[in-house]
Structure 1
Amino acid sequence: MKGIKNFFSIFFIFLIILSSVNAFSVSQESISNPLCPRDTGLFVDIIKNTDPVSKDFNINSRGSASGWAVTVPNSFVLNPNEEKKVYSYITPSQTANPGNYNLDTVISTDDDSKVISHSVIVKDCFKAGLTSITSTKQEMCPDGAVKYELTLTNRGEFKETFRLSVEGELKNIISLTDSSVILDKSESKKIIVYLKAPVDSREYQFTVIAIGDSGKTRDSVPLTLKVNPCYDFDFKVLADTSYNVCDRSYNVVPLMIENKGTAINTYKLDVDGPIWARSEKLELTLRSNEAKNFNLVFAPTYGVEGSFPVHLEVSPQIGFNKISKDLNILVRKCYGVKADIIDSSSQICQGVESSFNAVVKNTGEIRKSYRIGLESPSWVSSDTKILNIDGGEEKNLIIKAFPTSDVKPGSYNVDFLVNSTDQDGLQDKDSIKLDVVSVNDCYKPKLSFPYDDVIVYYDSSALIPFNIENSGVRKASYNLFLSGNAATFSSMTPVEINVDPGKTETAYVYVAPKTNMPLGVYDAKITLSLKNGAALDSRDMKIEITDNKEKATDIKLSSSGPVVNSTSLSFASRVKNWFGGLFSSDDNDVNNLLSYDDVNASASVVVSPLDDNTGLFSRFRYYFLAAFILLALIILFFVFGMYKTIVSFFDDEVVDYNKDDKTNEVHSDAVFNNAIDSKPEVVKKVIKKKVIEKPVKTAKVVKKKAPLSIAKIEEPKPEVKKVSNTNYIKKESTKTEIKKNVKKDYVKSEPKAYGVIDSPALNELKDKIDEE
């Protein structure tokens, strides 16, 4: 009994569980048909609550078509045994591709859920059909008209616009009757394709394409065109294509044209070459597979020489293929003459004979005799009348022109004629233009002076440049002359100069005032004449001699011209200063060198700037030279006893002054003080060092009762023995030696001296020595 109760309890629990599982049911009432893009379909589902209690239901969609679907209602409540319809609307998008898609409707309650699956079919609603009415492969002769007929059908579900195009190697020569067609559903239209067959015989492929504006449909038809060789032909040269012949020769080249096409045709021959190359026939008409021969003839005339290309081209009357052949003809000049005057024009002078070179060349290969002639004025002639010249050789001759003084200046033409003496008639000529110029215009010089008036310091020299321009037509040799009172201290260089036509040369006037030259303005006249001829041009200039160095003209000379030292020193003084500069220990401290004039007992500063850009080797090479010369002098001193010669070499020049001439007075104090005051402090120190501390040259003096500010030079007397004034005292000598050597000469008062010097500067030097 107890077991039966347990069974019923278990069965009751099972029924409760089973009733909860089947709480609701779902079923499909309708489904959608296949859809086109943007068409709408409907799915209807029925949901029934089989639970004894009310339930809440929620509806959701999923699957590949869920993006296009909308389901209503999406939530509701059903009482026991109550049912409700759920509607799912679906509209595929415009871009949806044809195919099968799924839409799942999910129904769920608090304790259960179920899925109903729907199949959505999107069909191909945009479709085109492009078919060929005629054959897709056609044959045609070159340049023949070809036509293809096609049909375009709209096989889609909607009205569609189709665009037509062609792809392939012939697309640029193909035309279509329509490029755009609008067709309703199932509507068709004929499309015609036109083209001209290419000239090349072969097979061509191309494709006609139709594309709908919807972008959903595309169709195409491949087409083939075979171009047959209807107008083929051949053109041949039946001999060599290169020839080497003489002028005045006759030559034949055989040619052939063959029609290899299927139709009768006419052919035209064009010859592009020299005028003496011609074809026997210029036009031929040939049947299919027919061939004909003809000749090209070329006959170069006398004088023809060189390489000549000949271009042959054959063109068919029907068809576009052309065939070309090229020939090259090298013509040798077996007969020929060349007349040549070296100059094409020339200027000649009245009364002067001129000669011109002419050349006659046998440019052929055979020896010939030629006659020489002139078509010219009577004063033009040639001594040569007949020339025999081998082939390839040439001979020279002279044409002479001698216009007399009565020939008017102007232009005259001279024709040089050369003719063969046989019947060949070979000839040639050349010409020259002769311009007769008067004698005055033949050698026309022009003088130009950069410096018309020049001021020269009395103790210096100057080089004044001037230019000589030959404005004539002939090379001239000019003589230069210098006159005027400035000629006493000036000279010309060069005195003879050659100048080419149109060129300019430079000459110079060298000015070097003499001793005791009075200050003032001097005249100079430069005269230019033909060599051993009359004067042609002259120029005057002023040369002023001044004692103001700052007033002197600064003359600029070109780098190629000579360089002249502005300070006039004797050769012996220059050599002594050079040696003194080599052994001066102060040369590296300052850029000024001091020279001491023993005759005038006055100091003057000669500025000699050192070149900062000079290399070490260039500067020290003089020290090496000085060392070598010093060594040679020592050898001469002690070996050969030459010291007397060396001493006499370094003696100062003693100038004979006129005692009564007041212009010879030298203001020693003023020159010395002005020279020092015009220099910087560092130069003043060097001057004092060189005058007082460095070796002092003793001077020959005669003591006077009263000191003089002006030193007057007396005339030397024959019986007076000259006292040497070359006693240089080295810096390393002691003060006692300085006093001894200087005072020894200073106290001499015998009437043996050449001059009288009494200067405050030297008196101060004497006092310092006496104090020491």
Structure 2
Amino acid sequence: MRTNKTFGITFTLLSIILLLALAIVMPAEATMVVNKYTNDFTLSSPNNEQLKACSCEMKTDLLIIENVGNFPANYVMEIISPVAEWMTLSEEEFSLAPKHRKELINYVEVPCGEKGVSDYVVRVTSSYGRTEYLHRTLRVDQCQNVVLSVAPKEYTTNLCQPVDYDVRVKNVGTYAETYQLGFGSYDEYMNVTLKEFYLKPGEAYEQTAVLTLPCTFYGEYDIPFYALGSKNNVQDEETVLLIVENQFDHSINVDTEAKLCSQVKQEIAVIVKNEIDIPNDFNVRLRGPGFVDVKDAERTFSLEGDETRVLILEADPKEGQEGEYTLSVEVSSDYGKVMKTRDVQLVVKNCYDFEVELRDIENNVLDGATACCGMREYLLNIRNRGETEETYNIMTDAPSWFRPEELTVRLLPGESTNVRLYADLPCVDASYALPLTVINNRFNEVNETIVFNLNGQTKRSCHMVMINDDEFNMQRDTQVIPLIVEHNGTEGGLYELSIDSQLFTLQETSIEIWPGEKKVIHLETVENLTDHEFGRYISQPLFTYTLENNPLATVTEDIDYNEHVGTNLKDKNLFVKAWEYLAYGVNWCAPGMCGWTTIVFATLLALALITMAVLALMTVKPTVHPASISAFRIILLALVIIVFILLAIVKLPDPATLYEMPEDAAEHFVTVYQDGRVTVDLDPYFTDPDQDVLDYTATQPKDLAVYIDGNEMTLVPDRGFAGENEIVITANDGKGGVEDSPVLSIYVVPMKDMDFMAWWMRFCVQINIFLLLLLLLLTLIMTFMFDERKTAEKKRVYVVIPQHGEYKVTGRKKTSVA
């Protein structure tokens, strides 16, 4: 640029020198020719005045400068604009020869994000100082530079199935751009190779996008696709409709009926098939009896597409669960939530039932047994109550002295057999629980265990006898005392009797008694007891069990049983004798209700007469006003008499409502109410051929006092005692003849346990009548008290006021002082 300027200056100077030389040489008369010269130039552009550009785009504006002058010139070009920094000229300074032109380019590079209209001016200044202006307008917009196209491979899919989309992005702009793919709220479910990529102008990129929705999505969805330019933030988007259908399905195949046997585990097969080609997870749920479950607890499993699995249901019905049941098998899928149900009818029978019983050697059923030590035999009865022939094994976890004769038996349906059990009991008093287990040989789970409770006894315990009532009272005139002997062992026989006593001898020398039996022996008093002091004496009866008397017994030596009987020898004092006479000698109940009613009536009549007489006397007394015998008092007296009569008439409650009378009351020898007494005539129960006067004695039961006076026996239970007791009555004719009654049962009827309200209800009528009587009597007494008060008011006397040793008495009437 600088070289062109130097050349112009030199050329101008040479032209001037040439002209001056010509002027000097040529003659003066020469004619001067004048030509027109200029240094103008022009500035123009072939483009429109308004230059349109896109954000982020490079735009060019063509500028033309032409030297229309006659001289070479130099030019300087510049841009004047608010956005001049966006523009760059291809050349800013240049030279042009006359009649030459030059084309320059204005490069406009619009930043991203800009838009709007701006003015700019192109100014060109020549070396001769001339200036030309070109006014232009720049319009900037955000232009679309991306085209997005989406081609789905399918518009309908199944749950959990992926969907493929062909996605193509093209740069339709004039500059290179980096694009980002987006999918809105489905972005996390979309899988693409590149989500961000770079494209030159006109370049396109195509890839496959795979959409996999969660298995909970079902229905119609609008799937958005968009491509966003990172420079100008312009995007192109497209929405594709996707229909998600629930096409999941599976099948269940199981028999509609299953026949089962109790006590035996059996299996039921359930076939589950995944009917589509997509893997799925399945859950099994059973509804029905509790004895059916999925084997190995396999309630959750997975199946590949079109895969089949056999589930095993394990049924274990117990004994007692026989019958018909409905089992519902539910299989549901995790994907698709499809649930299907199949019902199975279960028929449970006791196919292998059997029964086991313990029996004695005589084939009687046993719950338990008590036996002497030594070898004993029992029976184990096994009965096949099933439907097939079975073999049974017998097992026991007992001591070595206990064993079954056979360990295996085979029985047809309905058949039974007895297996002998041998027990060689040790000679100790002990109880044993001996387990016996019978097991079905084919199905070990079908078994039954029973426990044989066997009580072993020593020889002494086995033959045990004892006296029940070992304490009693007697007087010096007592001749015979019966004692009840009870056998508490398991083997009986003949026992020899003897006694060591100061008061008694035994009538019997031996007694035969068996287990559970009760018998009576008699103690005879010595001839004269007057020499014996009153007090307590101990007698020792002895029972001896010998092998000589019992050849079949298993004892090897004699067994002695020493008993002790306490006897209180005492006499009755005067007070007791008087009390017994009044209590038991006089029959207070003889008059009965009718007699007592007569006595009450007579007593009431006497009281009424006395009352009438008293009233009559009161009417003539000057100190009593006649009005005191009023009609009201007479009515009260009459009512009192009526209530007394009513109280005598009303019956007491029936004892049946106060006592717990047993149903078998008639089976007892005598019944007596609790805290009561009863008297029994003994003559009807004994007969003497010689018509002798019989002397009666009886055993002394516990909790029961026995009083015998002649032929009458009075029974008085201890206060508060109720229950059953036993007594034996002995009749003695005084000539050596003695007869015992059987063991007689005495039952003391207990009083019902009643609260206060129950007692009140039982005696309600009597209590009310008694209260009415008291009320009437109190009312009657108050009327008299009231009249006495009024009489006292009328007879008020004022005393006092001593005056010089004299007393002045004043009242209603005037008095004089003596």
TM-score normalised per structure 2? 0.30
> Which protein shows a greater Rg?
2
TM-score normalised per structure 1? 0.32
